[in-house]
Amino acid sequence: MARNLLGIRHLTQDDIQELLSLSADFKLRILEKREVPNMSDQVVGMLFFENSTRTRVSFEQAAHYLKMKSANFSSGGSSMAKGETFSDTITTLRYERLNGLVIRHRASGSAALAARYFGGPVLNAGDGQHEHPTQALGDALTIIERKGELKGLQVSIVGDVEHSRVARSNAWLLSKMGAEVRFVGPRTLMPAHMQMLPGEVHYDLRSGIDGADVIICLRLQKERMADGMLSSITEYASMYQVNRESLRWANRDCIVMHPGPINRGVEVDDVAADGERSVINSQIENGIFVRMASLYWVFTSKAKSPDSPPPKLRVAKTVPAQPKTVARTAAKAKKAVAGSKKK
């Protein structure tokens, strides 16, 4: 069965460790202009049904570094605009002989559904409010670079937790790796099932970021909000903005993160976004290397560091098998065409 990357929740500590080591290894290789695996025989479909800048470009950049080819797809320019169902579109891409898919979609669970219809490796680039595994991996790599390890760190995730797949994937990853997670925000932006997520809930910013080593700020995701979830943006900012003043409550060497896009002046001020504690640009850059690792990991099932040596890519396994009858019909057609040419 093909390996997928659908979420962090079901990964083991070893899986996460392996993905992070691969990411760090790829980063070094790229920075030192050393060789990376050549996956030029693989074609990956980039399916972005929702807007994206960072995630989309970094997946494309990752594929480019690995010399993979990509087939780009957005719902607007496709047969979905003509009424084709999600499952029929995914099945079509399977028979277009793509080797794997990267998918972003507004529905939670869509990546898992795509994996069912596609059959080959699928990577979740963000599905609704569910998970965004490669964002969490990039964030973890960024934290490790600054703090050495994840274990024992106090990490506060601040803002619109309810609508955030980033909050969920980060909370699963960080708690699995031994960090202490806190969710901070107004009651209306906390999921009703908070007890199912790994972390402590704080409704007050001061207690929520008190002594934090890492603050992950979340965007207010207005496109997913129902009316009445926020009384006013100004009030929200006055209570929950991470800024010059509120940063005093965190640890002195606390780092500030944000998955982007940022609403400047709402969840963060310029000091938090651009100051010396901000690692937002490193998050963006590391996004490329964790996506290289993720593509490599799903496409080469038993992935090991490229030094050990690179596992051989088996194209046939990731392409849906041609039923014998199809091969026979193709052979017959070939014969018939050859015959008609002779005449």
Which residue of the chain is nearest ligand NCD when measured via CB?
219
Smallest gap from Cβ 163 to ligand NCD, in A, equals: 8
Tokens of 321: 């098998």
Smallest gap from Cβ 51 to ligand NCD, in A, equals: 8
Tokens of 80: 């979905």
Phi, psi of 90, rounded to the nearest 5 degrees: -65, -40
Burial degree of 343 (CB within 10 A; 0-12, 13-18, 19+): exposed
Q: Decide whether 105 or 165 has the Cβ nearer to ligand NCD.
A: 165
Which contiguous run of DSSP H or E holds residue 69? Answer: strand 69-73
| Short-list 131, 66, 60, CA closest to 303 | 66
Q: Decide whether 221 or 251 has the Cβ nearer to ligand NCD.
A: 221
Q: Decide whether 84 or 285 has the Cβ nearer to ligand NCD.
A: 285
Tokens of 105: 């979609």
Phi, psi of 127, rounded to the nearest 5 degrees: -120, 105
Smallest gap from Cβ 237 to ligand NCD, in A, equals: 16
Smallest gap from Cβ 342 to ligand NCD, in A, equals: 58
Smallest gap from Cβ 54 to ligand NCD, in A, equals: 4
Q: Decide whether 61 or 221 has the Cβ nearer to ligand NCD.
A: 221
Q: Decide whether 25 or 50 has the Cβ nearer to ligand NCD.
A: 50
Smallest gap from Cβ 187 to ligand NCD, in A, equals: 20
Under a CB-based contact definition with an 8 Å cutoff, are residues 300 and 121 in contact? no
Distances (CA, A) of 107 to 196, 241, 315: 20, 29, 30
Smallest gap from Cβ 141 to ligand NCD, in A, equals: 15
Smallest gap from Cβ 125 to ligand NCD, in A, equals: 8
Cα dihedral value 234, 240, 246, 247, nearest 10: -120
Q: Decide whether 182 or 219 has the Cβ nearer to ligand NCD.
A: 219
Q: Decide whether 59 or 65 has the Cβ nearer to ligand NCD.
A: 59
Q: Decide whether 135 or 300 has the Cβ nearer to ligand NCD.
A: 135
C-alpha 243/C-alpha 189 separation (Å) is 20
Peptide bond into 261 cis (omega under 30): yes
Smallest gap from Cβ 94 to ligand NCD, in A, equals: 26
Give me the residues that bind ligand NCD (CB under 6 A), please: 54-55, 126, 132, 135, 165-166, 219, 221, 259-260
C-alpha 67/C-alpha 73 separation (Å) is 19
Q: Give the 3-state secondary structure percentages of the chain, helix then strand then coil, rounded to 5.
A: 45, 15, 40
Task: Establish how many alpha carbons lie within 13 A of residue 56's alpha carbon, considering only the half-sphere containing its beta carbon.
Answer: 15
C-alpha 78/C-alpha 72 separation (Å) is 10
Which contiguous run of DSSP H or E holds residue 105? Answer: strand 100-105
Q: Decide whether 132 or 291 has the Cβ nearer to ligand NCD.
A: 132
